[in-house]
Amino acid sequence: MAMYSITLASGREKLPLKHHPWVFSGAIASVTPPYSSADWAEVLASDGRFIAYGYYDERSHIALHLLSWKRDELPGDGLVRKLVRESVLRRKDLLRLEDTTALRLIHGEADFLPGIAADCYGREIRIIVSSRFADAFLPVIASELDAMLHPSVIESTVDRAYSSSEGLSERTRHFRDGAETKEGDERENALFIENGIYYEAASGKGQKSGFYADQRDNRQIAEGYASGRTVLDLFSYTGAFTLHMLRGGALSVDAVDSSESALRHLLYQIHLNENKGVLPPGSRDKVETHQGNAFEYIRGIEGGKYDMMILDPPKLAKTKSALEQAVKAYKDLNRVAMEKIRNGGIIATFSCSGAMTRENLQTVLSWAAADAGAEVQILRTLSAGEDHPVRLSFPESEYLKGFMIRVWK
């Protein structure tokens, strides 16, 4: 088949040879024939050795995405279908769970499919596109997902964080029975279960694909600490941590988020789970919601009111250049939490910033503890679930880091 032949510059082959999937334009020595439109490419070292097959698109902020390092695995729609199929099959055990029907099916480059996240919510699949490659092959990906899982509908949206750099319009697309369709503005919410708790996610709305399945294991872990505690759930969104706190026996939960609609949905989901018998009657009376800036809210609370806190802020460092400011924000948030929490209290604290390493976050917590005059014990290290794997040749795939800590003052 015809494809580009791309030779990398001498000294720039190290990461591609180690199976890192990103190649930026500065690492490319030559392209044959000259670029005309996005297409597949054979990628060679400066001495002519084969490295990998990739997808070349000069309009992408990552010019070359590498997908296969096997010389006999020719690229094309067949390769994309194979990678989708393998990604789903790796999750076959999770797909059999009776108490969980929400999980990630494709985790981008960690599953060898650049810029595509696909999540299953009950009978629906939601896809987030963050690369031109994912946008170009979306019909192929949706077709293979439909053939394997037969969802009621597949909905795709473009990640706003990448729409500008990738030159993608922020459109919503739908697929049924493997073919693209036109959908009306209104559709019933997707109903699903996670760890035995019921949720609904509205179509085409909300953050990311409408839910954060990456915190599944951490919510279950946090639940084990909730009994008899007064809890502050900062950046609560639609209340997944709050629901676990209630099921775990928390005395009360204050949920804080900037989105009023997310907080309304949080209360609705409490009622949903009371009606399903998952939460005991009266759970709603234990919860107070507060709409506003979580960073400001925590500064205004009285010291010693809470003996458990959940700190799950949005991504504060989208790039390495933004890391310095993000470190200050993470440090300040955790310092105030340590100062305000009751002596011996528990904090589940997270960073979903890819540029913030686990070592960075632990260092930030040590700085925060020193400034707060507190001693801190790490009880658990927290990360995303197994459906969000970390690919060793692509360390950027470990974006969610967290710690369960106890604070002594």
pLDDT of the residue at 258 = 95
- To the nearest whole percent, how much of the chain has pLDDT over 90? 86
| Predicted pLDDT of residue 297 | 96
Of 22-31, 115-124, 229-238, 320-329, the poorest mean pLDDT is in 320-329
Measured N-to-C along each axis, helices 240-247 and 260-275 cross at an angle, to the nearest 10 degrees, of 40
Instruction: Report the range of poorest mean pLDDT among 62-66, 265-269, 318-322.
Output: 318-322
Which pLDDT value is given to residue 408? 97
What pLDDT, on a 0 to 100 scale, did the predictor assign at position 183?
81
pLDDT bracket for residue 1 (50, 70, 90) = low
Average pLDDT, the chain: 94
- Segment 67-94 mean pLDDT: 97
- In this structure, what token pair is assigned to residue 134? 């994912």
pTM over 0.85: yes
pLDDT digits (tens, 9 = 90+) for 346-357: 999 999 987 888
Q: Say how many Å lie between the first and final Cα of the chain, rounded.
A: 67
Per-residue HEC secondary structure of the chain comes to CCCEEEEECCCCCHHHHCCCCEECHHHEEEEECCCCCCEEEEEECCCCCEEEEEEECCCCCCCEEEEECCCCCCCCHHHHHHHHHHHHHCCHHHHCCCCCCEEEEEEHHHHCCCCEEEEEECCEEEEEECCHHHHHCHHHHHHHHHHHHCCCEEEEEECHHHHHHHCCCCCCEEEECCEEECCCCCCCCEEEEECCEEEEECCCCCCCCCCCHHHHHHHHHHHCCCCCCEEEEECCCCCHHHHHHHHCCCCEEEEEECCHHHHHHHHHHHHHHHHCCCCCCCHHHHEEEEECCHHHHHHHCCCCCCCEEEECCCCCCCCHHHHHHHHHHHHHHHHHHHHHCCCCEEEEEEECCCCCCHHHHHHHHHHHHHHHCCEEEEEEEEECCCCCCCECCEHHHCCCEEEEEEEEC
**pLDDT tens across 185-238, in order?**
677 889 999 999 999 987 765 455 568 999 999 999 999 999 999 999 999 999
For residue range 290-321, list pLDDT tens digits in order: 999 999 999 999 999 999 999 999 877 666 66
The reported pLDDT for the residue numbered 374 is 97
Tokens 């939460």 found at: 279
Other Cβ atoms closer than 10 A to 160: 13
Please, what are the domains in the chain? 4-74 (2.30.130.10), 78-181 (3.30.750.80), 212-408 (3.40.50.150)
- Which of 66-80, 151-165, 268-282 is least confident? 151-165
Write down the pLDDT at residue 325.
83
What is the mean predicted confidence (pLDDT) over 109-114? 97
